[in-house]
Amino acid sequence: MQAGSVRVKTLLILRVVPLLRERVRSVPVWFPLVLAAGLLLGDQLLKAWALSNLQQGAPAIPVIPGILDWVLTFNTGAAWSMFSGSAVPLAVVRLLVGLGILVYLTLRPQTRFLSLVLSLIAAGAIGNAIDGLRFGKVTDMIHAPFLSAITRALGQGDFPIFNLADMCVVLGTLLLLLASFRRDPHTR
């Protein structure tokens, strides 16, 4: 075999391998849309259940004592009541961010991991946007007493009551942040 032939084959392999890796690692275009829709449905169903079965100002209903309670409350701002009274402007921004992420994932399919975390963030943003646009406030119902114990020990008061959409945004963001510290083995 000639050196020129080996060099051409090596160059072809070096060009094809990254393409194959990306094709194998990316997900179908519909995956982020279906995942976000499922999470969004779960969020809206849980909020509807809370509105039907819980009363604002009522004592907490323990689900797992010391870990998880049901408590109905409403938020017209963002986490820790930041931007209180701005539910509609925040809802518009959340909706644009959530839809923007889904459009991006549709036009530029990503790896499974990135599709998952961005779909979580998109679903959470859209879920809270729906509440803000429909009711002028976001429905929250999940209370984690152990998190309140931590925030009180740090002198920050009770941990906010939250919902499934909030969990999606926080989990997606944390996973994205953690992944940013991981070295890509293909860049060595």
Q: Is 69 a catalytic residue?
A: no
Give the chain's radius of gyration (CA, Å).
Answer: 22
Q: Is 184 a catalytic residue?
A: no
Burial, 169: exposed, middle or buried (Cβ in 10 Å; 0-12, 13-18, 19+)? buried
Identified catalytic residue from 43, 69, 131, 166: 166
For residue 108, give the 3-state DSSP assignment. coil
Q: What is the largest CA-CA distance in the chain?
A: 82
Distance CA 102, CA 125 (A): 11
141's CB contacts (< 8 A; 6+ apart) are 46, 47, 50, 54, 70, 71, 72, 73, 161, 163
Residues carrying an active site annotation? 140, 166
